[in-house]
Chain A
Amino acid sequence: MERILCLLHTQSDGTLSQLALETLTVSSTTAAQLPDAVLLVGILGTATQQAATQIGSCGANQFFIAEDPALEKGSYHNDTNAAEAIAKAAQATIIFAPADSRFNRMISGMAIRLNGRADTHAVAVAADNGTLTISRWYYRQRIIAQQTRQQRPWVISIESDTAAPWKGDSKTVDATTVSFAVDANTKVIGTIAPENTVQTIKPDSPLLFVAGAGWCKKQSDGQTHLLEAESLILDFVNRSGASLGSSKSLVDQNSEGEAVLGCLTHMNQVGQTGSTPRHPKGLATCCHGEEPHTVGWRFITQRRAINTDANCGWARGKTDVLYVADAFKVMKILNDLLK
């Protein structure tokens, strides 16, 4: 009999994130599909009772909460202590947790404390014929595998969009409070926006706009046009509400001391050694569309690109539409339309 623990943390306002609710759907669906499985919920953070009430009607047999001001923001030491205490109190054999930065920091370490194993970044979970199987990507979104595991506890982190967010009535529940040791070595000061990037990275935007190194290259007049490039990019991002991504070549110029666009940092980089954002649409400009870049587009559904080169990487099946054109000219007109 599997004891399935859905391990969550509260956000600073005491609510549960969308990804937390998606993880709850995965957990309750799995509990319903596996014979004799029991659903348990564990919540760490602050205002955990409020969060438990938010999902009180999810059908869990038991709720566990670990609460302390030290858990308001995530740190490895305290999160791991709290999560370990919850998992042990719940005697969990399978633990689902959201793959957000807070839990990505600690769930594999927690698995070691539980003498278990961890598989991270699951994008699908199935429980056919009594066997739990997960799907996850290898080699930066190039190879996908379906896998299962014998060891227990088995800790699995869930990526966003794996399931619909759980919906249901709130209900007061009688949660079991779990105690854990609080440590003061690490102090979390808070979150900080790297200079200039605060408004440019928007995970919830329907559109990703990628700027490539072509924006800083010499154009047909033999000159670079950095100021114009930067203003076209920022105008577009501001007017369209798009999230700003970049190729590696463009952001690398920053650390190598070349002429650069100040609005971009490594945080904007998409691809092999950058991010793999999720947006319904993506528009690439002045970017060649090489494989190490486009692996970061795995979860961009509709894709368009503007490049002066009809033979660039995008032309080889990486985008739905490739406009062979000068992005400087197209973006200027597009920005006027968006005014």
Chain B
Amino acid sequence: MPTFQIIVCAGIVPEPLQTLEPVENAGKYALKNEAMLPMIIDPWGMHALYEAAHLSKTYPGSKIYLVVAAPKGKLQQVMMTIAQKVPFELIAIDTPAGGFTEAYEVAKALEQAIKSIPALDMSQTLLFGGWESASRCSGATMQMLGEMLGITEQFQGVDTLTVKEDGSFEIMERVEGGLHQKSTFDKLPAVLGWATGDLPEPPNNPQIGMMNMRGIMPSIMKAKKEDLPNEGIELKSCEVPKALRETKIVDNMTEEMIANEIFTWIKKD
């Protein structure tokens, strides 16, 4: 039976019900009150972590490394919510959070962290992440990181990974029109940028939590600081567009009248 070294890269993002507003400081943008906003692990990165947990359970002896580039203080808070779900070894990098950081610089920081993993065997390595962050939304970091590590098997928008009996792999990636593209490949390493996948959120397990926490705190303490200067990129403007419409609330029409009105609206060019 094969074993895998699964490296999951995930950032942290504001909890999606928060109101977000950009602020400028000396030509750089950040979110207003960014340090105060409640944060979560990037949702598609989280799915990648669940998929990793499922795979490592199916192939005992496999190991999960969770590599996170985020502000130290915030990271500790976020780890509390996921540490009970999945067993992993955390590798933390102390960086600014947020969408306005540069994918290339984040990928460089992740590359250094991954290269520091002792005895990493690339022929067993699956590099997981979300296919797009909920902050920068660029879908660039995982690809760049893959290239920096010399990984040329890459898949994005992955919903399913199947390990076949002959040791090869089958992948389902999202493509246009609600379809999946099915591919197979024989050899690792590979990069998988996950979409939602099929797995539910694992339940909390306090034993996993206790085991994880032993490694999490020291890892956060020794997290290397990386400034991510956003070299060469200039944001000329950054704003929340006016999104509000003048909503007409119709509460005095019968169902027939409503159906007729919607019918006419649908048919109109």
Contact partners of A194 in chain B: CB under 8 A: 178-180
> How far apart sit A309 and B100, CA to CA, in the bound complex (Å)?
37
B266 within 8 A of partner (CB): yes
Contact partners of B243 in chain A: CB under 8 A: 298, 317-318
Contact partners of A144 in chain B: CB under 8 A: 238-241
A185 within 8 A of partner (CB): yes
Contact partners of A186 in chain B: CB under 8 A: 153, 183-185
B58 within 8 A of partner (CB): no
| A139 adjacent to B99 (CB under 8 Å) | yes
Contact partners of B195 in chain A: CB under 8 A: 266
| A101 adjacent to B100 (CB under 8 Å) | no
| A255 adjacent to B249 (CB under 8 Å) | no
- What's the dominant secondary structure at chain B's contact region? mixed
Q: Interface digits, B191-228 against A, CB 8 Å rule (1 contact, 0 not)?
A: 00001101110000000000000000000000000000
| A310 adjacent to B258 (CB under 8 Å) | no
Q: Interface digits, B250-267 against A, CB 8 Å rule (1 contact, 0 not)?
A: 110101101110110110
Q: Would you give the shortest CB distance from A191 to chain B, in whole angstroms? A: 5
Can you name the residue of chain B whose Cβ is closest to the Cβ of A76?
A: B154
Can you name the residue of chain A whose Cβ is closest to the Cβ of B141?
A: A108
| B253 adjacent to A323 (CB under 8 Å) | yes
Other-chain contact of A267, B44, B152, B178, B250 (Cβ < 8 Å): B178
> How far apart sit A338 and B157, CA to CA, in the bound complex (Å)?
36
| A273 adjacent to B196 (CB under 8 Å) | yes
The answer to whether residues A281 and B266 also contact, given A316-B247, A330-B255, A333-B256 and a CB cut-off of 8 A, is yes
Q: Would you give the shortest CB distance from A152 to chain B, in whole angstroms? A: 10
| A272 adjacent to B43 (CB under 8 Å) | yes
Q: Interface digits, B1-42 against A, CB 8 Å rule (1 contact, 0 not)?
A: 000000000000110110010100000010000000000000
| B240 adjacent to A281 (CB under 8 Å) | no
> How far apart sit A120 and B136, CA to CA, in the bound complex (Å)?
10
- What is the number of residues of chain B that contact chain A, defined by CB distance less than 8 Å? 86
Q: A108-B143, A118-B140, A324-B249 given; name 14 further pairs at CB < 8 Å.
A: A109-B146, A138-B135, A148-B233, A148-B236, A197-B178, A256-B200, A257-B200, A266-B198, A283-B266, A303-B245, A321-B248, A330-B262, A333-B259, A333-B260
> How far apart sit A150 and B233, CA to CA, in the bound complex (Å)?
6
| A329 adjacent to B255 (CB under 8 Å) | yes
| Interface members, chain B 108-156 (any A CB < 8 Å) | 134-141, 143-144, 146-148, 152-156
Contact partners of B266 in chain A: CB under 8 A: 207, 240, 281, 283
Contact partners of A337 in chain B: CB under 8 A: 259-260, 263
Q: Which residues of B contact A (CB under 8 A)?
A: 13-14, 16-17, 20, 22, 29, 43-44, 99-100, 102-104, 107, 134-141, 143-144, 146-148, 152-157, 159, 172-187, 195-196, 198-200, 231-241, 243-251, 253, 255-256, 258-260, 262-263, 265-266
Can you name the residue of chain A whose Cβ is closest to the Cβ of B14?
A: A139
Q: Would you give the shortest CB distance from B234 to chain A, in whole angstroms? A: 5
Contact partners of B134 in chain A: CB under 8 A: 139-140, 272-273
A292 within 8 A of partner (CB): yes
State which of A46-54, A60-68, A198-206 sits at the interface with chain B.
Answer: A198-206
> How far apart sit A80 and B155, CA to CA, in the bound complex (Å)?
12
25 A-B pairs, CB-CB below 8 angstroms?
A105-B154, A105-B157, A105-B173, A111-B140, A111-B144, A113-B147, A117-B232, A121-B139, A142-B240, A143-B99, A185-B152, A193-B180, A194-B178, A200-B178, A240-B266, A257-B200, A283-B266, A314-B247, A320-B246, A322-B249, A323-B258, A324-B249, A325-B253, A326-B255, A330-B258
Can you name the residue of chain B whose Cβ is closest to the Cβ of A199?
A: B178
| B176 adjacent to A108 (CB under 8 Å) | no
Contact partners of A240 in chain B: CB under 8 A: 266
Other-chain contact of B233, A74, A147, A188, A191 (Cβ < 8 Å): A147
Contact partners of A93 in chain B: CB under 8 A: none
